[in-house]
A and B are shown apart, each in its own frame.
With several copies, the nearest count.
Chain A
Amino acid sequence: GKIEKPQVHIAVGGKAAFYYLPLTIAEQLGYFRDEGLEVKISDFAGGSAALRSVVGGSADVVSGAYEHTINLQSKKQIFQAFVEMGRAPQIAVGVSTAKAASFKSFSDLKGMKIGVSAPGSSTNMLVNLIGAKGGLKSTDFSIIGVGTGAGVVAAMKSGQIDAVSNVDPVMTMLERDGAVKIIADTRTLKVTQEVFGGPMPAAVLYAPIEFVKKNPKTVQALTNAIVRADRWLQTASTNDILKTVPEAYLLGDKDLYLLSYGKVKEAISTDGYIADEGTTTALKALSTFNPKIIPSEIKLELTYTNEFVKKAHQKYK
């Protein structure tokens, strides 16, 4: 049948990041067009800004972290995720090389100044979680928002922060330069499992539930494209990827890009399915971090659906 809304406006916070690589791939390889969609992607300074534009109605679909759907529900905004792009948060925590020698366990984070992308974001949440594993409260260290750009490098190298929790490519860059020692790495499934106590869905496409209900064919088309991108990435060589992503993404440093890609590869969703177990993990993690989220009040079943992914797999066997 005909697609209800062929023009879809997707909002994303930091499009060039690996976190959203499948989105870029789908766009570059023309998968959206193949589905009869005309997609416009607006880039925002951060994930929360992107989702706010969808709440406000200026964009239709968010490309963002799954946990935001839970966050939003606690604010009476019902959003539903319908396809997964990342199955691990891709956040890494590192301590500066100066402190690395004396760093034995998570409890040594006590008293440190820790740089996160933004206070209150997932990078902050991860710090709180691993701190809790080391028996620390959130007041035992100080959190500094340093963004995800050059500011992180500046802060780290000038010794203004002792530890950093951030995403790629910053973390790989710091690692390569020998500025940090990684102490927790959710770019791998294993560590994600350990830290969160289960799989943790990361990048997904989500939209207001009314949008999903009103435009099933559109949502299906979006899902199809992303699932194809997910699958393409599983088999693609680094060379394929270098050829596919916009040149601007690589301009900074091609080697770095590949190095970084190697690290996050594992975290990219293989099939687009959102693991049911993962959603409970996310809720648990969020509620320990943010007391305003009361697990009993959240209807998890509203926050995601795998129906579209299922149909996508039927279409693209």
Chain B
Amino acid sequence: MRGNGSRLRLKAIQIALLAGAFLAWHVLTSPTLLPPIYFGDADKAAFFFGEPLKVFSRLLDWFVSGEIYRHLWVTLIETLLAFAIGTLGGVGFGLWLARAPLAAAVLDPYIKAANAMPRVILAPIFMVWFGLGMASKVALGVTLVFFIVFFNVFQGVREVSPVILANARMLGASPRALLRHVFLPSAMSWVFASLHNSIGLAFVGAVVGEYLGSAEGVGYLIHQAEGVFDINTVFAGILLLTAFALVLDWAVTILEVRFMLWQPRAGETEKL
């Protein structure tokens, strides 16, 4: 178990790093603080990267005026739905195909092809199918999340130890019981690896969907701001989403710890 001291130290390093990053951001984009480095003049840096102080005041404004809640709510719901649907679909489909070799062989090229399609280009078609509301953004997010989870679950199921599988079958496990008691638990760490990855992409799906066409959501705000070169608002939106992505990830990590209790951890003796 990690001591309290080292956890504190960890947090300290992280916060120092964060502060350092913001400081660098501030210095590099402030026209007066430093001779310009990357760009010919620092105004240009501020034009592309915004200025952290303005970004924060934007964030503050949003929350103080309450303007952001509606947009944030929409984006979060879209993300959560995309995440949930994509994950369930990916797990279900992955479990099914991994256990149905013929179907897997037949569908294999189609899945690969679907995964290789540039979804952004298909966004208009999604809008036709799912309308301009949340559904089309959710759909875009689902296409991102689904494949990641799917590929991992598919492989995870195939990696099940053959002896454990044979044993469970000899013990009389039905295909359903095998799924529930063998394949799923065994593929769990694969699932979690893909979840960490796909949380981020669920957000990306929602935001890009809004960016491509919508009337509300954080992606809409970002799009509006880009149209008038208000890069600070763009970054404020991105920071906000990132913060929520981290919160969601943390929830997944809690689940993961809970489900992965059985795994051996290093150094299990207690110090006396």
Binding site for B on A (CB under 8 A): 9, 11, 14-17, 40-45, 48-50, 52-53, 55-59, 71-72, 75-77, 113, 118-121, 124, 142-151, 153-155, 157-158, 160-161, 169, 173, 248-253, 256-257, 290, 292
Within 8 A of A (CB), among B196-235: 211-215, 220-221, 223-233
A58, A148, A158, A250 — which one has the most chain B CB atoms within 10 A of its CB?
A: A58
Cross-chain pairs A/B with CB under 8 angstroms, 27 sampled: A11-B213, A14-B227, A44-B213, A45-B213, A45-B223, A49-B123, A49-B213, A52-B124, A53-B132, A55-B44, A57-B40, A72-B229, A76-B43, A77-B47, A118-B224, A120-B224, A143-B215, A145-B213, A146-B132, A149-B124, A149-B226, A151-B212, A154-B127, A173-B229, A248-B225, A249-B224, A252-B230
Report the nearest A residue to B227, measured CB to CB: A120
A62, B214: Cα distance in complex, Å:
14
Q: Is chain B's interface secondary structure helix, strand, loop, or mixed overall?
A: helix
Query: B213: which A residues are within 8 A, CB to CB?
Result: 11, 42-45, 49-50, 53, 144-147, 151, 155
A147, B208: Cα distance in complex, Å:
13
Binding site for A on B (CB under 8 A): 31, 39-40, 43-44, 46-48, 123-125, 127-128, 131-133, 211-215, 220-221, 223-233
Query: A251: which B residues are within 8 A, CB to CB?
Result: 225, 228, 230, 232-233
A81, B187: Cα distance in complex, Å:
57
A120, B224: Cα distance in complex, Å:
5
Structural contact, B227 and A118, CB atoms closer than 8 A: yes
A113, A124, A251, A290 — which one has the most chain B CB atoms within 10 A of its CB?
A: A251
Structural contact, A43 and B48, CB atoms closer than 8 A: no
For the complex formed, measure the closest distance between the CB of B75 and the CB atoms of chain A, giving whole angstroms.
Answer: 15
Structural contact, A160 and B131, CB atoms closer than 8 A: yes
Structural contact, B224 and A53, CB atoms closer than 8 A: no
A11, B213: Cα distance in complex, Å:
8
Structural contact, B48 and A154, CB atoms closer than 8 A: yes
Structural contact, A16 and B228, CB atoms closer than 8 A: yes
Q: A45-B211, A118-B223, A150-B47 are contacts. A56–B229 as well, Cβ < 8 Å? A: no
Structural contact, A43 and B231, CB atoms closer than 8 A: no
